[in-house]
Structure 1
Amino acid sequence: MLKILIGIVGVLAAASAAAQVQPFPATFQTHEIETNGATIHVRVGGAGPAVVLLHGYGETGDMWAPMAEDLARDHTVIVPDLRGLGLSSKPATGYDKKTQAGDVEGVLDALKIDRADLVTHDIGNMVGYAFAVQHPKRVNRFVLIDAPLPGIGPWDEVLKNPLLWHFRFGGPDMERLVAGRERIYLDRFWNEFSATPSRFTEASREHYAKLYALPGAMHAGFAQFAAFDQDARDNKAFIAANGNLDMPVLAIGGEKSFGPMMATVMRFAASNVTEGVIPDSGHWIMEENPQATLALVRSFLDAK
């Protein structure tokens, strides 16, 4: 009987561990980098050419832990939390993506990194694009995953999708509605934008819901979306002034989400675009099919 009980406990412990948000390797260090009117929480590990991983809404830099562990074998991996989210500070302003591109610039400058690859998801795409289009000589390769760019390509059609009502949801009354109900609000994203909602585990949901319940976090999250009109104006001005990106770009969509549309969007903003699709996945690529995501990203970054 004792052996049976020990076996059951072991199985349960293993299942629990598998369901947890994966921690970063112990070799990674954390930095609190003060720049551009914010304090950005950054994880740094590995050695070699630099790669920056930018998360989106509903998650933090924690989403990238499995990819960071793999890339750190031959890259210096930099993983910030966007301003206002995760463990970064939550200033009252600065949520337009042009300002947040300045956050990325400040992080790289503080770490004395001149050039890097970018791998971005969701709102991270928008921040990464604003950085790349203003500082093209600092970006070697750029991977964007499963989210449009304000003002670029079919943006006006994207806005008509009823699933994206949250783009216009915000303000003091909305903050009062979700105060203390952050988990309920975030479940809507994790459920509706997944191909298989159960792959966004209960442990992950609890982890991120606690971070988004921190003081100022929901305000900052709403502010990320409220800035989209300004972001659209900025992006159109970037293209008018700088033209399309010319570094290699990999545009990835989840099969049950943006799919090949991600590459369609990026061909309005970049000249050298490769299309990628993550099979059997919705929007949450690192939860739903991390192996395929990592394989696509690494193949692209490693290409000669």
Structure 2
Amino acid sequence: MFRSLAMAAALCAAAPAVAQVPPFPATFKAQDIKTNGTTIHVRVGGHGPAVLLLHGYGETGDMWAPLAAALDDDHTVIVPDLRGMGLSAHPAGGFDKMNQGRDMQGVLAALGVQKFDMVTHDIGNMVGFALATQLPDRVGRFVLIDAPLPGVGPWEEILKNPLLWHFRFGGPDMERLVAGRERIYLDRFWNEFSANPTRFDERSRQHYAALYARPGGMHSGFAQFAAFDQDATDNRAWLATGVRLNMPVLALGGEKSFGLTMAVVMRAAATNVTEGVVPDSGHWIMEENPAGTVALVKPFLESGR
């Protein structure tokens, strides 16, 4: 609607080639998996026990390249783009996180994966949490990084933070406002949620802005947030059963962002929570301090062996 078909086709074709974010190891292969009424773009590489990496808003699975490179010598690393984001399809609906958990179930089934660990960030936390409640006996270890879970722990207090106005920003008029101005909208996230905005570099900003400017990209992004009320209802219903996650959980917050609040959130939903802080970082942990993030995540995953 907002771009010529030629430009849209060029973006779709060029997106993987112009990925000037840190690259995945050359051994990683990309594939599209049809599941749950949509198509999920997935990168897979390495060998050994499986680990699923789920990204958040303002990025795609590309954010995980440094961690994937650190894990692929002894893990099979699976990196999807979430429903409606990156190079995955842009369906009309289905953005509640329980449904997206079913997306991930389909991805794992297509890859023949039974047991797996998870590392998640931002919206990926919410999808990963849904998946963990659906398949609790199949998740070995779970790392959640720097974002709340709808309806869990201090959710209502977190919603009062004025920085989170975008949780309620969406709909056709908002889509019209940001059409052709995707970079301006996304810069707000990258700047305000960083400890040091210069670490979210220009080439990464250009890369992600081009992906979110693809037809349906911003609509899907807004839909992720619009589903939070349903996500909160679903999570509260699960909590009301008295069941809790029993796998080892590492709850990490950026030093200049969620910090130890991530552990407060997870202790409301899990019985075995280790807290941690990514030093010298805001929300964008893989851009601001990838080495510090890897240094916390990798030993935690390996301690389960």
Describe the SS at the equivalent of 1:137. coil
- The residue number in structure 1 matching 2:35 is 35
- The residue number in structure 2 matching 1:280 is 280
User: What is the deviation of 1:240?
Assistant: 2.2
1:97–1:127 Cα contact (<8 Å) kept: yes
- The residue number in structure 2 matching 1:64 is 64
1:33–1:41 Cα contact (<8 Å) kept: yes
User: Once the two structures are superposed, what CA deviation does each residue of 1:258-286 show, in whole Å capped at 9, x if it has no partner?
Assistant: 00000011000000000010111000000
* Correspondence list, 1:104-143, <5 A: 104-143=104-143
Q: Give 4+ residue runs of structure 1 displaced > 4 Å after superposition.
A: none
- The residue number in structure 1 matching 2:187 is 187
Describe the SS at the equivalent of 2:79. strand
Q: Distance in 2 between matches of 1:241 and 1:46?
A: 38
Matched, 1:223 2:223: yes
- The residue number in structure 1 matching 2:149 is 149
User: What is the deviation of 1:159?
Assistant: 0.5
User: Once the two structures are superposed, what CA deviation does each residue of 1:84-131 show, in whole Å capped at 9, x if it has no partner?
Assistant: 000000000000000000010000000000010000000000000000
Q: Distance in 2 between matches of 1:220 and 1:20?
A: 23
Identity %: 74
- The residue number in structure 1 matching 2:178 is 178
Q: Distance in 1 between matches of 2:109 and 2:243?
A: 25
Describe the SS at the equivalent of 1:294. helix
How many residue pairs were aligned? Answer: 286
Q: Distance in 1 between matches of 2:124 and 2:222?
A: 15
Describe the SS at the equivalent of 2:58. coil
Q: Distance in 1 between matches of 2:74 and 2:225?
A: 35
Q: Distance in 2 between matches of 1:57 and 1:169?
A: 14
Letter in 1 for 2:72: A
Q: Distance in 1 between matches of 2:170 and 2:150?
A: 17
1:64–1:286 Cα contact (<8 Å) kept: yes
Q: Distance in 1 between matches of 2:287 and 2:185?
A: 19
Letter in 2 for 1:192: E
Q: Distance in 1 between matches of 2:129 and 2:221?
A: 19
User: What is the deviation of 1:242?
Assistant: 5.8
- The residue number in structure 1 matching 2:241 is 241
Q: Distance in 1 between matches of 2:268 and 2:70?
A: 31
1:133–1:242 Cα contact (<8 Å) kept: no
1:143–1:251 Cα contact (<8 Å) kept: yes
- The residue number in structure 1 matching 2:257 is 257
Matched, 1:79 2:79: yes
Q: Distance in 1 between matches of 2:196 and 2:253?
A: 15
User: Once the two structures are superposed, what CA deviation does each residue of 1:53-74 show, in whole Å capped at 9, x if it has no partner?
Assistant: 0000000000000110110010
User: What is the deviation of 1:20?
Assistant: 3.6
Describe the SS at the equivalent of 2:137. helix
Letter in 2 for 1:287: E
Letter in 2 for 1:67: L
Q: Give the stretch that moved more between structures: 184-193 or 26-35.
A: 26-35
1:134–1:238 Cα contact (<8 Å) kept: no
Matched, 1:271 2:271: yes
Q: Which runs of 5+ in 1 are unaligned?
A: 1-18
1:60–1:81 Cα contact (<8 Å) kept: yes
Matched, 1:51 2:51: yes
- The residue number in structure 2 matching 1:11 is none
- The residue number in structure 1 matching 2:91 is 91
Q: Distance in 2 between matches of 1:291 and 1:24?
A: 16
Q: Distance in 2 between matches of 1:20 and 1:218?
A: 21
Q: Distance in 1 between matches of 2:35 and 2:241?
A: 26
Q: Distance in 1 between matches of 2:89 and 2:122?
A: 20
Alignment RMSD: 0.9
User: Once the two structures are superposed, what CA deviation does each residue of 1:116-164 show, in whole Å capped at 9, x if it has no partner?
Assistant: 0000000000000000011101100000000000000100000000000
Bigger Rg, structure 1 or 2: 1
User: What is the deviation of 1:213?
Assistant: 0.1
- The residue number in structure 2 matching 1:3 is none
